[in-house]
Amino acid sequence: MIDYIGELRNMLAFRGLAPNTISTYTTYIRRYLEFIEMVLCKDPENVTWEERRNFIMYIEEACELSPRTINLVIAVIQSFTIFVLHQQWDPTQLPKRKFDEYIPYVMSQEDTWKFISTIKDIKIKAMVSLLYSSGLRSCELSQLRYEDISRANMRVHIAKSKNRSEGYTQLSKQALEYLTEYWCKSGKPRGWLFPGIRDQEKPIGAYMILKGIREHEKHLGLEHRITCHTFRHCIGSHLYQNKTDLPTIQKFLRHKSILSTLIYITLADTALNEVVNPFDLMGSKV
């Protein structure tokens, strides 16, 4: 029997995709192959475009997937079709979904401090502090090693991640205090900075970080609006509110394009408050 999943993983690795991306692709292609085998009862090479569309409708309903995630699933099937089955891909047969843009949720600086400072679990507090103060993505946080923290230079080393580039970001003094407390209470780990709970030889999973955030969110009686990425949006917005220029924010968050940084003009809730409305000036002259 052909190892379709193994072949796809090999091709994705050959293309240089990140491990987290490969893992995500594997999850959805496994569901696709199960659908083909158990529902269609045929080989993947013989699946029609209509049957591919039927799978998309099935997984959309079964898993309640958003249009963005549906587009990801389509991209997974496209990669499988091209790189494993070596068949032509027709985007007009399985077009990407249109979706509405949304504004990410951002907490105020006061609420961010309240959320982080009241976390009881020092490991979760240290991780969330780094998510916010260093603008880390959850995948970057989970992959941190002991040697990535430089107390001498007050910076955090970031291995290649989402934007495929290696770099550094700032280490705040407050985050370092929480991090030091966690490190001392956790046996002073020298490998993974945040090892897994069940397997110390592996880094903590991003889902465990989110679980800690969700539990504290519930403890504070808040709505389920906060994710790991929320803190990255918060620090970007707060930097802009504190008069940091966009190129500096771009460098801080390690955006490849300044276009990615422009969202913080929208997210910073003080920006419009500082604008004097011409209508108010008209009234003052009467």
Q: Report the pLDDT value the prediction gives residue 163, as an integer from 0 to 100.
A: 52
Among candidate residues 33, 66, 83, the one where a domain is terminated: 83
Q: Are residues 25 and 147 in the same domain?
A: no
**How wide is the angle at C-alpha 105 spanned by C-alphas 102 and 111, nearest 5°?**
170
Round the CA-based radius of gyration of the chain to a whole number and report it.
23
Which of 270, 269, 229, 263 lies closest to 246 in space, CA to CA? 263
Q: Is residue 143 part of a domain?
A: yes
Q: Are residues 152 and 229 in the same domain?
A: yes
Q: Is residue 283 part of a domain?
A: no
Amino acid at 204: I
Which of 38, 62, 92, 157 lies closest to 74 in space, CA to CA? 92
Q: pLDDT tens digit string along 214-271?
A: 999 999 999 889 999 999 999 999 999 888 999 999 999 998 889 889 888 877 755 5
Q: pLDDT tens digit string along 155-207?
A: 999 986 555 567 899 999 999 999 999 999 999 999 999 998 878 788 998 88
Beta strands in the chain (DSSP E): 149-150, 155-158, 167-170
- Domain extent, residue 13, equals 4-83
Q: Are residues 176 and 249 in the same domain?
A: yes
Amino acid at 210: L
φ and ψ of 234, to 5 deg: -65, -50
Q: Is residue 170 part of a domain?
A: yes
Q: Is residue 53 part of a domain?
A: yes
